[in-house]
Amino acid sequence: MNERDEFFLRRAIQLAKQARENGQEPFGAILVKNNEIVAERGNQIYATSDPTAHAENLLIRDYCQRNKLMNLEGFSLYCSAEPCMLCSGAVFWARITKIVFSVSQKILQKISGGSTKTDCRTLLKPHQWIEIIGPVLIEEGLKVLEGYQFEKSNLIS
């Protein structure tokens, strides 16, 4: 991981903090192309009453629709937490080339009290064109989650 990766990941963590402050699940993601942020989102599941409105999923969907793209090869996704199964699927179908995340699914499930979810490496492992970096900047990512009440969340099921 380099300084640019750290900069972008910190922005995703900041979006997670903003999402939490807005009454949403504390997750954020940004999309980067040629070392430039091209899109960013926070989680919106409660605002939209949509259990698929994860930051990563919304980000990919909105960016692709807005730009009339189906292929995001050469793009990087920075996430405050490791992409879940849903978001890993979106990464696969959009052909995103690189993922950088802070808090792992394993740590997230431990602090949320939920059941263990499959990590993105396991899901995306057969697809060698996806570079996965993480968990990194874990302490910064965990600060956003500190004291969050996951009981109201789908994460505990």
Structure tokens at 83: 């992409």
d(CA 90, CA 79): 13
* Residue 140: active-site member: no
Output the CA torsion 5→6→8→12 (10° steps): 130
d(CA 129, CA 107): 26
Cβ count near 106 (within 10 Å)? 12
d(CA 67, CA 69): 5
**Which among 56, 139, 146, 151 is annotated as catalytic?**
56
Q: Quote the DSSP letter at residue 100.
A: E
Residue type, 127: H
Q: Show which residues are catalytic.
A: 56
